[in-house]
Chain A
Amino acid sequence: MLSVENLAKTYDSGDEALKGVSMEVSGNELVAIIGPSGAGKSTFIRCINQLTTPTAGSVLLDDVELTELSTGKLRDERRNMGMIFQEYGLVDRLTVMENVLSGRLGYVSMWNAFRRNFPADDVRHARATLDRVGLGGMEDKRADELSGGQRQRVGIARAVVQRPKILLVDEPTSSLDPESSRAVMDLLTEIAREDDIPVLINIHEVELALEYADRVVGFADGRIVFEGAPDEVDEDVRDTIYRGGTEGSLEAEPEPATESDDERPATPTER
């Protein structure tokens, strides 16, 4: 179970990206975070596995406080969190198999990592996972030979072979066409159910969020301004999230007019 409390992040530049966010994620639910660009969604996801160090607040993963860990301990905990990136985060010149197996790097010795010598169980799991994401037989291809949708599925496979306690997903579909986007969302839902882990997705396209999520969290200006079931997201709620309407938050600043473009769903090329 992931439990975040009063998480805040102020960048060196003085930008307050997060202004105290609290949230709990557990079971095998799929939680979608929606909100305009600059609302702090990405910062939130990155503050959970400490790729970005939060300024204040706490992050508890199964009762382990992540914000105060030593480097070594933090690495051990990172193995329990799978992360999926907007730009896939694949190493282009490595093979698909190496990219997937890099999810096990936290468990093998330096020398074995160097020789690409992973335990047989890891290799089996990697093969099985590639099959599962529909890339069976592509092990020896180089990552840069794949299409965008395929690359994102390699990214998912890498997170899955970590056998994580939670999946953190940062804008998985914003570089993809609508069809690949849906395939990726289907896959993430399936993983949440079958592997019985929660999935926390930060997503741009509202319609996809509403369709797939069990719970929707609306971010605006570094704060949570909405939390509820997908069918509770009506025009008023959208207004609150995207135009800083007065409904749920008095502090949220009105977004500039251009930002309302973000509301239009399923436009994969945005930003």
Chain B
Amino acid sequence: MSGELADSEFASYDGEWERPTVFYNTAVKYLVYAVVLVFLVWNVVNVWVPIDRLLRGFGSAWLLVTSMFPPDFGVSIVVTPVQVGGYNVFVPSALAVDNDALRLWSGMIETLAMSIVATAIGVVISVPIAVMAAENLVPRPVYVVGRAIVSVSRALHELVIGIIVVVGFGFGALAGVIALVFATPGFLAKLLAEDLEDIDPTQMDAIRSTGASPIQVLLYGVAPQVMPRLIGLSIYRWDINIRAATILGVVGAGGIGNVLIRSFDRYDYQYSMAIILSIIAVVIVGEVASAVARRRVQ
């Protein structure tokens, strides 16, 4: 049948073949699949939603969407009639700005200010934490502490910190700044530590061999190697902090989020939509600016 092979020779080949698996054998493989499937099904069953509730939701979703348009930025154009050849022609003469527009504006300024201050402070405290979390630079116990700080900072969402600080201490924008500062090392120190672990040790040794103190070794042997990366990461983190700052106000921690949640509370959905669109615009501008700046640094 296969041209060149005698039937007996052909028959000597094994007719069975099974795909090799990353698990130890097929039984384990199906067991793992079964466990995953049961887990997924259990999750779905746990949150099971009656269909009629979903359908009712779609109705009110449509209502919400229609009541959000057109977005109302609180800015309107005043037109005044001008006589042209016996006809009244309406000509735009001024821009009317109401309180909504002012609140939107000042909320956005506060958001940006929070993100800038928080990034500056966050970078300053992230650097020593990064050194602590770099395995090659510090003794083991310090390393463990450094990693623990990074882990906690990563695991607790900035909103969780925000809400605690707001209720515990009772201040607005500063609470937001504290929340963002808290979250910054989880990103910045973690990535910077990874870079510190990759540095060229001979440069460090060269400085050390001149009799420099450990601090001097850090300043002259380590810092120059990771400086561009630190700047790049800081800009990146600023971009992330802008995003986060736009929503911290939802729990009362200052910024545009405050304005947003209040607009929802008073069912002013057209204004809400305007705020959401403004947030999206600021976030996208921040993203693009950060990308451009990072490219320039590298």
Contact between chain A and chain B defined by CB under 8 Å? yes
Residues of A at under 8 Å CB distance from B? 95, 97-98, 101, 116, 118-121, 123-129, 131-132, 139-140, 163, 194-196
Closest to A97 in B: B17
**B215 an interface residue at 8 Å Cβ cutoff?**
no
Other than the given A95-B19, A124-B11, 14 more pairs (CB < 8 A) read A95-B20, A116-B17, A116-B19, A120-B16, A121-B1, A125-B2, A125-B10, A125-B13, A127-B13, A127-B17, A128-B9, A128-B13, A131-B13, A194-B4
**B14 an interface residue at 8 Å Cβ cutoff?**
yes
A216 to chain B, nearest CB (A): 26
Contacts of B44 in A (CB 8 A): none
Contact: A120 with B3, CB < 8 Å? no
Measured in the bound complex, the distance between the Cα atoms of B17 and A139 in whole Å is: 9
Contacts of A140 in B (CB 8 A): 20
Contacts of A127 in B (CB 8 A): 13-14, 17
B258 to chain A, nearest CB (A): 50
Contact: A195 with B3, CB < 8 Å? yes
Contact: B20 with A124, CB < 8 Å? no
A125 to chain B, nearest CB (A): 5
Measured in the bound complex, the distance between the Cα atoms of B9 and A125 in whole Å is: 11
Contact: B19 with A98, CB < 8 Å? yes
Measured in the bound complex, the distance between the Cα atoms of B15 and A120 in whole Å is: 4
Contacts of B15 in A (CB 8 A): 119-121, 123-124
B133 to chain A, nearest CB (A): 35
Measured in the bound complex, the distance between the Cα atoms of B14 and A120 in whole Å is: 8
**B55 an interface residue at 8 Å Cβ cutoff?**
no
B224 to chain A, nearest CB (A): 39
Contact: B19 with A124, CB < 8 Å? no
A112 to chain B, nearest CB (A): 13
Per-residue interface assignment for chain B, residues 1 to 34, with 1 indicating a CB less than 8 Å from any chain A CB and 0 otherwise: 1111100011101111111100000000000000
B273 to chain A, nearest CB (A): 44
Contacts of B5 in A (CB 8 A): 128
Measured in the bound complex, the distance between the Cα atoms of B21 and A95 in whole Å is: 11
A104 to chain B, nearest CB (A): 12
Q: Ordered nearest first, which 5 A-B pairs have the shortest CB separation?
A: A120-B15, A124-B13, A194-B4, A127-B13, A195-B3
Contacts of B4 in A (CB 8 A): 132, 194-195
Give chain B's interface residue range (CB within 8 Å of chain A): 10 to 19
Closest to A98 in B: B19
Contact: B3 with A118, CB < 8 Å? no
Measured in the bound complex, the distance between the Cα atoms of B13 and A75 in whole Å is: 29
Contacts of A132 in B (CB 8 A): 4
Measured in the bound complex, the distance between the Cα atoms of B222 and A117 in whole Å is: 58
- Given A118, A124, A129, A195, which contacts B14 in the complex, CB threshold below 8 Å? A124
Measured in the bound complex, the distance between the Cα atoms of B2 and A163 in whole Å is: 8
A113 to chain B, nearest CB (A): 12
Closest to B9 in A: A128
Contacts of A116 in B (CB 8 A): 17-19
Measured in the bound complex, the distance between the Cα atoms of B52 and A214 in whole Å is: 74
Contact: A196 with B3, CB < 8 Å? yes
B20 to chain A, nearest CB (A): 5
Contact: B14 with A123, CB < 8 Å? yes
Contacts of A119 in B (CB 8 A): 15
Contacts of A128 in B (CB 8 A): 2, 5, 9-10, 13
B33 to chain A, nearest CB (A): 13
Measured in the bound complex, the distance between the Cα atoms of B21 and A98 in whole Å is: 13
A139 to chain B, nearest CB (A): 7
B34 to chain A, nearest CB (A): 16
Asked if A123 meets B19 with Cβ closer than 8 Å, knowing A132-B4, A195-B4, A196-B3, the reply is no
Closest to A131 in B: B13
Contact: A123 with B17, CB < 8 Å? yes
Contact: A118 with B10, CB < 8 Å? no
Measured in the bound complex, the distance between the Cα atoms of B13 and A139 in whole Å is: 13
Closest to B14 in A: A127
Closest to A193 in B: B4
Contact: B17 with A118, CB < 8 Å? yes
Measured in the bound complex, the distance between the Cα atoms of B1 and A142 in whole Å is: 28
Contact: B3 with A194, CB < 8 Å? yes
Scoring A124, A139, A195 by chain B CB atoms within 10 A of each residue's CB, the highest score goes to A124
Closest to A121 in B: B15
A214 to chain B, nearest CB (A): 19
Contacts of A126 in B (CB 8 A): 17
B22 to chain A, nearest CB (A): 11
Measured in the bound complex, the distance between the Cα atoms of B246 and A64 in whole Å is: 68
B137 to chain A, nearest CB (A): 37
Closest to B20 in A: A140
Contacts of B9 in A (CB 8 A): 128
